[in-house]
Amino acid sequence: MPGRIASFVIAGVAVSLWGCGPEDAARQETPAATAVVAQVPADTVYLGGDILTMAGDSPQYVEALAVKDGLILFAGDENGVQPLLGPETRQVDLDGQTLLPGFIDAHGHVWNTGVQALTANLLPPPDGEGRDIAALIEITSEWAELHQNAIETAGWIIGFGYDDAQLAEGRHPTADDLDQVSETVPVLFLHQSTHLGVMNHKGLELAGYTAESADPPGGVIQRGADGKTPNGVLEEMALFTPLFAMLAEFDQEANLAIARAGLAAYAAQGFTTAQEGRATRSVAEAWRRLAEQGELILDVDVYPDIRGEEAYLREVGTSRSYNDGFRIAGAKLSLDGAIQNYTGWLTQPYHQPPASQPADYSGYPAFAEDSEVVQLVDLAYQQRWQLIVHSNGDAAGDQLIDAVDQAVSQHGDSDRRTVMIHAQTAREDQLDAMKALGIFPSFFAMHTYYWGDLHRETTLGEERAWRISPAQSALRRGMAFSQHHDAPVALPSAMAVLSAAVNRTSRSGEVIGPEQRISAYDALRAITSWAAYQGFQESSKGTLEEGKLADLVILDRNPLNVEPQNLRTLRVMETIKQGKTIYRADSQ
């Protein structure tokens, strides 16, 4: 998308760095348009609806918003916008709809979301029909019949999104089950969490897994009744190693097709900034190529894996600015798995451990030696790479906090904005340490909907389950935070993020930790102004203020004026990136 920098002069720019407190976040100074700009007719003016600026500790509205060359020219009363109207100015009547800043993806995997969009949908209701193993087999078999070209390109039959906790059988499918789809073509079912997968016997053969194969560090090859033969289920690095090898075989055109599908899925949900939350070199370069071709319809923040792509990170570096919508924003580090899969690393045992594990089973780390984590965090601080760190279990949280503490002692704490991704079981004392060290939490409140019942009954027990994604605890400390969807773990729905953060209602309808619910306004800040701060973008994104990018979303209703239980039913009517419409509901 060329022309992303406005052609008119903006004077009097005032940018200040600020702390992580919510009150500070709301008062961030932004570039201000001057009288020089005021003489230029606007390209577009929005009127006639709720225009919620998100620039304050409480809701603030303006009557009109004017856009010129991709930037916000004016945000104020209707009389004040009149001098900006010219013969070519497009006037948009919102007709009672609500205009907000475009949503910012605080953590997701936009390329993998493209994979999800282009593969067999195995998600359980309400997002799919994956109710039992027979349904998974039928869905994938029908998909395979219709997508022979895709199978020839990928070399695999792939289904995405099954959840053993929601299957009628209450177990993972196995290689024997997947052989019903094909015995000659490798078949892969990816778990909704993306931390597990299942291969048929042909897939296991290509991955090189046999009865003699040892579990890789940070992963587990589940076994059959003999305790030796792989049953098809692969955890963490046992899945990621062959999966990354498979994805590396995709040619550039396949990578670009997947990327485009991911962008379209995000735009339809009101996102104007997307995150590539654990990139390989090939995926990062696919985004760069799309940017060079002018095909990025929204901004993409790429975070290559610090362990697997250290050489690439050293080669390309990181940036806080975009080139045609693309930037290497920092580095990603993963310290454990997912609690719903029993691979999250906890300080206390799981409430009901898996049948194959002892009573004191508490999951496992991605790095057995703390020194490895200390070394990688130190590398990021030394190179001044922003670090986003996957940490679901509180033991993984301790490992991150300790490593950051050492890095800060060595390199200083000058505005690093290290992010704890998920922070799902962050304890109160950990939040205190995170605030002191400047570790920014990004919560995944949608866990309360998708796996809240499982956590309450099975994995964590009620006491710990009630505190997952402890956003209200962070607010009490004056901490800003973001909320994310982690797509494709969940569909990239901003409305589902809002609903989960505000309601914390599980599939069964129970409220998972009512004391951790937050207001709709704070939930919106977590995907707009606070999410912008997380990515060092607060001077250009996240609020509707003069001089900022015209990244906008129009909703059919105002999230602050609907009943909380109806937040998920709000519709994205239009998504606008720097003044240009990239999605419109009535054109789909």
- Do residues 389 and 333 touch, judged by C-beta distance below 8 A? yes
pLDDT at 8 (0 to 100):
30
Cα–Cα distance for residue pair 62/102, rounded to 1 Å: 16
Q: What is the pLDDT of residue 39?
A: 52
Taking a C-beta distance cutoff of 8 angstroms, is the pair 51, 61 a contact?
yes
CA dihedral of residues 448, 454, 460, 463 (deg, nearest 10): 60
Q: How far apart are CA 153 and CA 250, in angstroms?
A: 8
Q: Which CATH code fits 110-248?
A: 3.10.310.70
With a CB cutoff of 8 Å and minimum separation 6, the contacts of 126 are none
257 by Cβ neighbours in 10 Å (0-12 / 13-18 / 19+) ranks as middle
Cα(266)–Cα(284) distance, integer angstroms: 17
pLDDT for res 413: 83
- CA dist 524 and 519 (Å) reads 9
pLDDT at 194: 84
**Architecture of 335-537 per CATH?**
Alpha-Beta Barrel (3.20)
* Residue ranges of domains in the chain: 1-102+542-588, 110-248, 335-537
- CA–CA gap between residue 546 and residue 71 (Å, rounded): 8
Q: How many helices (H) and strands (E) does the chain have?
A: 22, 25
| DSSP E strand boundaries for 69-218 | 71-76, 90-93, 98-101, 103-104, 120-121, 157-162, 187-191, 196-199
CATH class of domain segment(s) 1-102+542-588: mainly beta
273 and 104 Cβ atoms separated by less than 8 Å: yes
pLDDT beneath 50, residues of the chain: 1-38
Radius of gyration of the chain (CA): 24
Give the whole-angstrom CA distance, residue 335 versus residue 258.
27
Tokens 């009097």 -> residue: 12
Q: Are strands 386-391 and 419-422 parallel, antiparallel or unpaired?
A: parallel
- The end-to-end CA distance of the chain, in Å, is 21
Write out the H or E segment, with its range, that includes residue 51. strand 50-52
State how far the Cα of 448 lies from the Cα of 453, in Å rounded to an integer. 8
Compute φ and ψ for 214, nearest 5 degrees.
-85, 150
d(CA 508, CA 258): 34
**Residue with the two structure tokens 């195995």:** 122
Q: What are the angstrom distances between the C-alpha of 180 and each of 137, 190, 318, 571?
A: 7, 16, 46, 39
159-179 residues labelled b (16+ CB within 10 A) or e (exposed): bbbbbbbbbeeeebbbbebbb
Whole-Å CA distances, 457 to 356, 422, 452? 18, 21, 9
Among candidates 577, 550, 548, 578, which has minimal Cα distance to 10? 548
